[in-house]
Amino acid sequence: MLDLAEKTPVDGPDAAALAARVADLNARYRHHSATAVMQGALQNAGKIALVSSFGAESVVLLHMAAVTDRATPVLFIDTEMLFTETLVYQSEVSERLGLSNVQIIRADDITARDPDGSLHRRDTDACCALRKTEPLNRALASYDGWITGRKRFQSGTRAALEFFEVEDGTGRIKVNPLAHWAPEDVRAYMEENRLPRHPLVAKGYPSIGCAPCTSPVAKGEDPRAGRWRNQEKDECGIHFVNGKMVRTGAKS
């Protein structure tokens, strides 16, 4: 049984204890399925949320969460820069899966810090911090852990991803049930469960973020090549060290 309910301080011996607990969880769950990791986290992990972008592959984890507990807290960050298709998809998928606790998270100071909505043209890191990372960090403050859809195959920076990770400096644990999945596993799960695809996937968007920073991908390109195209950036910065956003590496 997972035991993440006890909130762990972030420094010194307690941080070491948290790291040891995560290592133990990874050892215990090494041969378990994604569904088992998801169910174990939701049923035994204290206060935990699923963070979802309702993007190209998000419906897999949303379905796993709905099957386990439809009242699972689902945090959806509306950057106010998303495609209209994503907003419609979020609403339709939530209803179809019967998710009853979808929380829409928005920044509360966009008017002051990005009054004309042009910050993404000058400084994508600052824009992601304002519209994604800071609101998510605030929303997660009362949680013991969170579930993400990150997978090893997605980029070089995720190649060593495990089911469980310590989030440096926050005392939270990140759970990555799909860490070991390949693209074929994602496709097969969607087909077997007849899950609706994000409408932009059929239009050449295998990875979907904000409209100004996402472009279609050509055949043979890396699926994430359309995210912040022609920039070094490859992650939105939803990662924390000592409670602060950090960059996670260059585009693979």
Nearest residue to 136 via CA among 93, 94, 96, 172: 172
Report how far residue 229's alpha carbon sits from residue 137's, in angstroms, rounded to the nearest whole number: 26
* Overall size of the chain counted in residues: 252
**Residues 65-84: x/- map of binding to ligand SF4 (CB under 6 A)?**
--------------x-x---
To 10 degrees, what angle do helices 183-192 and 58-68 make? 50
Classify the phi-psi angles of 82: left when phi > 0, otherwise alpha if psi is within -120 to 50, otherwise beta.
beta
- Contact stretch for ligand SF4 (CB under 6 A) within 11-19, 40-48, 97-105, 121-129: 121-129
Nearest residue to 72 via CA among 61, 88, 60, 58: 61
User: Which single residue brings its beta carbon nearest to ligand SF4?
Assistant: 210
What is the closest distance, in whole angstroms, from the C-beta atom of residue 48 to ligand SF4 in the complex?
A: 25
Task: Rule CB under 6 A: say whether 210 interacts with ligand SF4.
Answer: yes
Task: Rule CB under 6 A: say whether 225 interacts with ligand SF4.
Answer: no
What is the closest distance, in whole angstroms, from the C-beta atom of residue 96 to ligand SF4 in the complex?
A: 26
Residues contacting 40, CB < 8 A, separation 6+: 1, 2, 29, 32
Residue placing its CB nearer to ligand SF4 in the complex, 132 or 251:
132
Task: Rule CB under 6 A: say whether 200 interacts with ligand SF4.
Answer: no
Residue placing its CB nearer to ligand SF4 in the complex, 123 or 221:
123
Interface with ligand SF4: number of residues (CB under 6 A) = 13
